[in-house]
Structure formats: structure tokens, C-alpha cells
Amino acid sequence: MTYKVTDEGDTSTVFLDGEIDMDKTEGAKEVIFPLIDAGKNVNLNLSSVQYMDSSGISVLIESHQKALEKGTKLVIKDVSKSVLKVIMMAKLEQILNLE
């Protein structure tokens, strides 16, 4: 997994790519959590993430809940078809902010 972060005002956009599994989740958290802790709204662009397992889904839930606690917003953008299928299997499409 690699990542890129861009900033615009109070919103940071995190571009992740590759396959997000148990081995990659700590890396994803290390990128996303400090942004939320700093009070940023975070757009998580997943267009280049082709595979995500339950560990990756847990990062999405944890990030979403952390943003709610901090009064910011996490928006998940451009989800690939394969990852959307997993999000829907977890019945999270109405819980997470998907765009």
C-alpha cells in the first residue's frame, strides 16, 4: 500500500492504493488518524484500492467513529466496485459517508 495526501483548507484528501489487509492497516491508521486528531475533515479516496478485507473495513469504521468524536467528517470517495461489494456485505453503505 502506498499513499498520497493533499490539503485544501480544513480538508485533507488521502489517496490509498493497493490491497488493504491486516498487514497494511497500521500504516493506513498512521496516515488517517493524525489528520482527524488535528481537526481536519478527511476525504479518503479509494479508487486505487482493489482489495479490502475485514481489517481494512475496521479502519474505515474506526476512522468514521473517530471523526464523529472529534466533530470532523470522514468521506469515502470513489470506491472501487470490489471494495464497495465488501462495504455492502458488511452493511455499512448507510453508515459510512460514501461519495
Partner 1 sequence: MSTEVSDSTNLSEKKDFLVRSSSLKDVRSFSREVFEKFKINEDLREELVLAIAEAAQNIVKHAYKDYPDTQDRMAVRISCTDKELEISFFDKGKPVEKSKVKHRAIDDVKPGGLGTFFIQEIMDSIKFKEGDKPWINNLVLTKKL
Point out which residues bind partner 1 (CB under 8 A). Answer: 19, 21-23, 51, 53-55, 57-59, 61-62, 65, 82, 85-86, 89-92, 95
Distance CA 33, CA 38 (A): 9
Q: Closer CB to partner 1, residue 13 or residue 63?
A: 63
In contact, 15 and 3? CB cutoff 8 Å = yes
Q: How far is the CB of 15 from partner 1 (least distance, A)?
A: 20
C-beta of 4 vs 85, nearer to partner 1: 85
Distance separating the N- and C-terminal Cα atoms of the chain: 22
